[in-house]
Structure 1
Amino acid sequence: MTTTTRDISDDTLAPRGRDKIDWAERAMPVLAAVRERFARERPLAGVRVAACLHVTAETAALVRTLQAGGADLRLCASNPLSTQDDVAASLALDDGIAVYARAGEDRPTYFAHLAAALAHRPQLVMDDGADLATLVHTRHAALGDAIVGGTEETTSGVTRLRAMARDGALRYPVIAVNDAATKHMFDNRHGTGQSTIDGILRATNRLLAGACFVVCGYGWCGRGLAARAAGMGARVIVTEVDPLRALEATMDGFQVLPIAHAAAVGDIFCTVTGNRDVIGGPEFAAMKDGAVIANAGHFDVEIDLAALAAAAPQQRRIRPSLDEFVRPDGRRIYLLAEGRLVNLAAAEGHPAAVMDLSFADQALAAEYVLQSGRALAPDVHTLPHALDEQVARLKLRALGVEFDVLSDAQRDYLAGWRSGT
């Protein structure tokens, strides 16, 4: 099956992409179970879907699941550096998906691809960073009335959508897939933790043992990253603005410092906050010669790239995904993946086994928001707990893990109040 409705880099890469997709799907049994049911029941039959996601082999498994459920889908990239061109080619040529994604696409192309996805007049919007939702509410307002609902995969995107809801601007209900327990407890912590270390090592080939590794932000992603850096022998420092998270990091055994103090002692820095200008001019001025900085937050705003460039008269690319900035005094600072998501731009993103959970959540959230329709208020909603539990049960079954079940007496005890002590 082929389609001419696409903008991808190289059609000839499709066979290699198919192999990558097949390999990923072998580690995604939960999504396979959802796809099998979707193929029987066709809950998305005829629904026009615009999806702005990282175009990876794992995402391909989700897209193929939505297609099995009957969706008429257009896919664009949610980050200019995360697209796997071979996967994009396979989805376009082998599955007939309208794909608009090229690795390394410039800003105008990126936004042209977003516009192409929205030109589909979607009834469902699937976001990874809320770029489609933002465009719907700014440049393409006429589409808002036709959209039944949306889903959002990331912390950064959920933050933006909640801001829209607070302002009374959000025009359709959105399921915050990121807030599902089977997403943030595993994808954010185990997925980001492992894939970020993978990206940093591929870009630098540096030894982490003995290095001072600074993790900026101790949310679920920061927790996972700090644990894995420590597991590889690094001395981990955490920076935080939330006193509860700072206390948690302290009790997890990590040193907590303001970034102004950590800047002078760190060897490797990685931001995972969802906020902007976390590392900027004063921090660059304090860093040692050879400091490495990376970002694992969704947008490339966490590192002040303009300040970094302005204070470095000499700049050059030394390795793929590694740029050297030489300050006037000769100190060198190394930026990974242009300040974009290092785990996707310099590596392959999360392992398929953890994306199995997240993308099963995405598929079920799409079905749920479409079935609920206008009954849901235009707000940010959590995935129903029953669906979260369903994904967990399917994953445990696939892993061969058995667990206990409450007896009737135990259920009655937990539901009552008369028993006392």
Structure 2
Amino acid sequence: MDNALGQAGERRIGWAARAMPVLTALGTRFAAERPLEGLRIAACLHVTAETAVLMGALRAGGAEIALAASNPLSTQDDVAAALADYGVAVHARAGVDRETYYRHIHQALDIAPEIVLDDGCDLVNILHTERTELLDGVLGGCEETTTGVIRLRQMAAEKALRFPMVAVNDTRTKRMFDNRYGTGQSTMDGIMRATNTLLAGKTVVVAGFGYCGRGVAERARGLGARVVVTEIDPVKALDASLQGYEVRPMAGAAPEGDVFVTVTGNRDVIRGEHLVAMKDGAILANAGHFDVEIDVRALDELAQAVHRGVRPNTDEYVLADGRRLLLLAEGRLVNLTAAEGHPAAVMDMSFSAQALAVAWLARDPVRPAPGVHDVPGEVDVEVARLKLAAAGIEVDELTGEQERYLHSWRAGS
């Protein structure tokens, strides 16, 4: 490895660790207790400084780790170099093509893992389709993101999932802190870095009003934008409306939007019929996991000319009538490609839940059944408690009388 590159990665990881007191404390605990001694872990995660702090905690617990990237454009090469120096087998490089991306996942699986960590379900998918000889050795794993949990639940519904997967994405702390606040801030950061556009006064169209979409809408409104939400779920659409957002179908929003952000976990959210209705200079960004939410193939077919790299992570597509549409990050995750992903303080909680879930899977004498499982409630509460303590925040405790009241059905008014 390039020594200078590795040293740069060390500095980046050190900076992230400053804002990750919970995970750092868990690393210290793991080093003393060694709950993962000899455990083989294959991970498919964004190779960033925050992920490196997680890898350090798991290594401190005694695990042997092989890491592949969960997105071809999100890898921080200096962090990958530093992780290799830590003893993590890293199979990742920024900007690789699709074939290399999947080869790296296969290389991570060559460790014959007992635990898997995934972000988008690509690694679990390959285990079940191409590396089935390894399935019997897998105790279980964790999934980090909404898109991955959707895929896993479908696998479980079809009885295809062969081992237990913990839906780290579905914890209360993860949805609130990571999905809402992390995605909201980092998505706006990516859009602004890529375009240097002023969002105040612009119309921002947010496709999807789950936890991530809600965070994007809140941050956009906070920057002075007029926000329009598109949804397929009547309950979420009603929620958006009652929070003061305009709610329209994409066909109605397409002619008005200045900036479009897809956050749905589904494909073809912005299609050809929407692209042809957009105004000159419209910006297209995806904050969902995979590069399928914006129909880039339709955009290619509509364009008379494509100007790559008009700004970093920005490609300009010129339509037949001269209108220009700006696609960010090739339709991949804008917050991890054009920016640096969630702030480290956000990932502190998500990755702490991940580390504790791994320890739970490793030590639980009763192996959970194959399927998708919630993070144990005590793990979620412990992460929140540790985060509050690190921030110097105290909370009330129930009195004995309050405890008795909450557990009695006899007490009334």
Interval of TM-score (by shorter of Structure 1 and Structure 2)? over 0.9
Tell me if structure 2 keeps the 8 A contact 1:149–1:373. no
Do 1:91 and 1:99's aligned partners in 2 also have CA atoms closer than 8 Å? yes
Alignment of 1:127-142 (within 5 A): 127-142=118-133
CA distance in 2, matches of 1:171, 1:179: 20
Separation of aligned partners in 2, 1:118 and 1:242: 37
C-alpha distance after superposition, 1:168-221 (max 9, x if no partner)? 010000000000111111100010000000000000000000000000000000
From 296, 310, 320, the counterpart of 1:328: 320
Q: Is the 8 A contact 2:45 2:67 kept in 1?
A: yes
**How much has 1:369 moved relative to structure 2?**
1.5
Equivalent position of 1:176 in the other structure: 167
Structure 1's consecutive aligned runs of 4 or more residues displaced over 3 angstroms after TM superposition are none
Contact kept in structure 1, 2:22 and 2:348, CA below 8 Å: yes
Alignment of 1:2-401 (within 5 A): 10=2, 12-93=4-85, 95-317=86-308, 318-372=310-364, 375-401=367-393
The CA distance in 1 between the partners of 2:163 and 2:3, in whole Å, is 36
Q: Is the 8 A contact 1:148 1:373 kept in 2?
A: no
Q: Which runs of 5+ in 1 are unaligned?
A: 1-7
**Partner SS state of residue 197, structure 1:** helix
TM-score of the two chains, using structure 1 as the length reference: 0.97
Once the two structures are TM-superposed, the CA of residue 11 in structure 1 deviates from its matched residue by: 5.0
Letter paired with 1:182 = T
Q: Secondary structure of 1:313's partner?
A: strand
Aligned equivalents of 1:59 and 1:100: distance in 2?
A: 14
Give the Cα separation in 1 of the matches to 2:215 and 2:226: 15
Residues 35 and 68, structure 1, Cα contact 8 Å, conserved in 2? yes
Letter in 2 for 1:407: T
Q: Secondary structure at the match of 1:137?
A: helix
CA distance in 1, matches of 2:291, 2:353: 26
Secondary structure, counterpart of 2:129 in structure 1 = coil
Distance (Å, rounded) in 2 between the aligned partners of 1:253 and 1:373? 50
Residue 97 of structure 1 and its aligned partner are, at CA, apart by 1.1
CA distance in 2, matches of 1:201, 1:151: 32
Task: Specify the code of the residue in structure 2 equivalent to 1:226.
Answer: A
Instruction: Measure the CA separation in 1 of the matches of 2:189 and 2:89.
Output: 31
- Inter-partner Cα distance in structure 1 for 2:365 and 2:98: 34
2:93 corresponds to which letter in structure 1? R
Letter in 1 for 2:226: R
CA displacement at 1:12 relative to structure 2:
3.3
Q: Is 1:413 matched with 2:409?
A: no
Counterpart Cα distance in 1 of 2:116 and 2:87: 19
Determine if contact 1:148/1:374 at 8 Å carries over to the other structure: no
Amino acid at match of 2:256: V
Q: 8 Å contact 1:77–1:83 — kept in the other structure? A: yes
Give the equivalent residue in structure 2 for 1:402.
394
| Maintained 8 Å contact 1:216/1:239 | yes
CA shift at 1:76, angstroms? 0.7
Q: In the aligned structure 1, how far is the partner of 2:399 from the partner of 2:343? A: 36
Aligned partners of 1:372, 1:277: CA distance in 2, in Å?
41
* TM-score of the two chains, using structure 2 as the length reference: 0.99
Give deviations 1:22-64, integer Å, cap 9, x for gaps.
0000110110111111001111100110000000000000000
Q: Is the CA contact (8 Å cut-off) linking 2:361 and 2:367 kept in structure 1? A: no
Asked whether the equivalents of residues 194 and 328 of structure 2 are also in contact (C-alpha less than 8 Å), the reply is yes
Deviation at 1:372, TM superposition (A): 2.5
The CA RMSD over aligned residues, in Å, is: 0.9
- AA paired with 1:37? R
Q: What is the Cα deviation at residue 366 of structure 1?
A: 0.6
Q: Secondary structure at the match of 2:381?
A: helix
Q: Distance in 1 between matches of 2:134 and 2:159?
A: 17
What SS does the aligned partner of 1:75 have?
A: strand
Give aligned-pair identity as a percent: 60
Q: Could you tell me how far apart the structure 1 residues matched to 2:364 and 2:354 are?
A: 15
TM-superposed CA distance for 1:373, in Å, is 5.6
Superposed CA deviations along residues 111-156 of structure 1, whole A, max 9, x for unmatched, are: 1100000111000010001111000000011111100001000000
Count of matched residue pairs: 412
Structure 1 window deviating more from structure 2 (373-382 vs 165-174): it is 373-382
Question: How far apart are 1:375 and its partner, in Å?
Answer: 2.6
Distance 1:61 1:49 in 2: 15
Q: 1: CA distance between counterparts of 2:323 and 2:32?
A: 61
